[in-house]
Amino acid sequence: MTTSEETSVSETTAAVAAPTASVAAPAAAPRGGRRVALDTARVVLALFFGFSAVAKIMAHESAVQSFDRMGWGSGAMYTIGGLEMAGAVALLVPLLAGVAAMALAGLLAGASIVQLTLLDPPNAVMPALLIAVVVLIARDRKDRTAELAALLRGLTAARRGGQ
């Protein structure tokens, strides 16, 4: 091969290699974008559950009417409001977010069932959609949930050893 042939081969190789590098770069981006989306969802859901909880805890007229319509007493309203508030706060704590998301999935499943059976069946879609979001959050936080479980096991073992 002559020098001019080597140059053209090198230029061709460089031209082919360049697009490959630019195509590979965006592959890493969804991870960061996914993280931002899930963190945003956590904060938005924490606000949603926090406001929902405040309405129940303060016995807002709309919450009281809903629980009366279901035939449930104020005790259930305050309990659900307390659970929603605990979940909202825990969603904002990275170590607790996965567990909070799993617990909130349970509350949302109950809300969906209540909508289907006691209240407004078409409104059962919203809690069902939110279940999908909290499940994604729980899955994303599974490493932190495992860390929490290990921490709790360690504390339990230390307590047993100290007795």
In a domain, 21, yes or no: no
Domain membership of residue 152 (yes or no) is: yes
The larger pLDDT score, comparing residue 82 to residue 28, is at 82
Q: Which of 130, 45, 114, 44 is nearest to 76 (CA)?
A: 114
At 38-83, the pLDDT tens digits run: 999 999 999 999 999 999 999 999 999 999 999 999 999 999 999 9
Instruction: Write the burial class of residue 32 (CB in 10 Å: 0-12 exposed, 13-18 middle, 19+ buried).
Output: exposed
| pLDDT attached to residue 157 | 85
Residue 5 domain-assigned (yes or no): no
Give the integer Cα–Cα distance in Å for 163 and 150. 20
Q: Does residue 17 surpass a pLDDT of 70?
A: no
Q: Which residue carries 């969603």 as its tokens?
A: 91
Look at residue 50 and tell me if it is in a domain: yes
pLDDT value of residue 156:
86
Q: What is the mean pLDDT of the chain?
A: 84
Is there a domain that residue 146 lies in? yes
Q: Model-level pTM?
A: 0.74
Runs of H (alpha helix) within the chain: 3-57, 61-70, 74-91, 97-117, 125-140, 142-162
Give the model confidence (pLDDT) of 130-139 as tens digits.
Answer: 999 999 999 9
Domain enclosing residue 149, as ranges: 34-162
Residue 101 lies in a domain: yes
Is residue 97 very low, low, confident or very high in pLDDT (cuts 50, 70, 90)? very high
Does residue 104 or residue 15 have the better pLDDT? 104
> Which is higher by pLDDT, 90 or 122?
90
Q: What percent of the chain has pLDDT over 90?
A: 69
Instruction: Supply the DSSP symbol for 120.
Output: -
Is residue 112 situated within a structural domain?
Answer: yes
Number of domains forming the structure of the chain: 1
The two structure tokens encoding residue 78: 């305050």
Q: Is residue 113 part of a domain?
A: yes
